[in-house]
Structure 1
Amino acid sequence: MADETSSDFNPAPQPNGEDTAPAIGLISQYVKDLSFENPNAPAVYQWQSAPQVDVQFNIGADTVGENLYEVTLKIDITSKADEGTSFIVDLKYAGLFGVRNVPDDQLQPFFLAEAPRILFPFARRVVADVVRDGGFAPLLLEPIDFHGLFMQQAQAMQAEAAGDVVVGQA
């Protein structure tokens, strides 16, 4: 029979009340860089053809101090019609995250999947507002499954490391 005075569920108290639990917190979020170009104004407002919108994303994470990381969501958007370029948006939207007691192998999944998920709704609003302020209908970006994209990239890297890369078909 187990000793009733000990418990596997209560960790031993830490000296001086030190907290050793893993924690990540969003300290701040901000527009780091924003550019909106409307190269064919005012003629663009007379165009009748439907524009084609190309959206590209990139995610970066940098150490900016002890236990401080900046995660940047870069969004590049180009809208083109038959007549020419309607508008171009380049946005770098960043978040400053404090990290404590998180194992190194857990940082990359957080920075490339969870942090962009947190930042995206705010970056989406910035894009919609700047496009609207440029004289166009607001551009509402579709939600993105950052976790799914991270998992696909991780699986592709594992397959490449294992030599399972398919180069072509025979």
Structure 2
Amino acid sequence: MAEQDLTPVFQLQRMYLKDLSLEQPNSPTILLEQEQPQVDIQLTMGAEPVADGIVEVTVTATVTTKIGERTLFLVEAKQAGIFEMRNIPDEQAQGIVGVVCPQMIYPYLRAIVSDVCTRAGFPPILLAEVNFQAMYEAQQAAAAAGVEGAEGATLN
């Protein structure tokens, strides 16, 4: 029985849209502009313990489109997942939270951002594929080198 208690467990408990906002502060006049907008996409990740062996992982996309200095539209979507993780060594757990969990969440976030843009009357914004392994390794290297701000990017 004791062996069963030490069996590693990793499973998705629930996936959900945690936050979503759309702003069009300069509509309708900016919609008449013929100029091509500039698109800026920011991606952030976070992790919070919920209970013993349970962690919430979030991936947030912020898409800002501007024509000149005026905002055409701004979309921010935060997709979350609740994951059960038990009997997993800390170094492996950090990698799972920093790589595996975001990889599971991200396709849903991509679909939401594209859908919201389309429903708002704009062409869909297709978020690029992300190599979460490379992103995680870069964050770990920055944290190990003591780069200022690396702690904010580290997924713990």
8 A Cα contact 1:29 1:94, kept in partner: yes
Q: Deviations over 1:83-108 (max 9, x none)?
A: 62110011111001011211122222
> Displacement of 1:127 after TM fit?
0.4
**Structure 1 segment 1-170 matched on structure 2, within 5 A:** 15=1, 18=4, 20-82=6-68, 84-160=70-146
Q: Deviations over 1:113-160 (max 9, x none)?
A: 211111100000000011111110011101111110111121222233
Deviates more, 1:142-151 or 1:83-92: 83-92
Aligned residues: 147
TM-score of the superposed pair, with normalisation by structure 1: 0.80
Counterpart of 1:20, as a letter, is L
1-structure distance, mates of 2:59, 2:93: 16
Structure 2 segments unaligned to the other structure (5+ residues): 148-156
Identity across aligned pairs (percent)? 37
Counterpart of 1:156, as a letter, is A
- Which structure's CA Rg is the greater one? 1
2-structure distance, mates of 1:43, 1:20: 62
The structure whose residues are more often helix, as a share, is 2
1-structure distance, mates of 2:55, 2:2: 27
Counterpart of 1:46, as a letter, is L
Aligned structure 1 segments of 4 or more residues deviating by more than 6 angstroms: none
2-structure distance, mates of 1:112, 1:88: 26
Tell me: higher relative CO, structure 1 or 2? Use CA pairs within 8 A at least 6 residues apart: 2
Q: Give the root-mean-square deviation of aligned CA atoms.
A: 1.7
8 A Cα contact 1:38 1:134, kept in partner: no
1-structure distance, mates of 2:84, 2:2: 22
1-structure distance, mates of 2:91, 2:129: 27
2-structure distance, mates of 1:93, 1:85: 24
Q: Deviations over 1:32-61 (max 9, x none)?
A: 111000112222322111111111111111
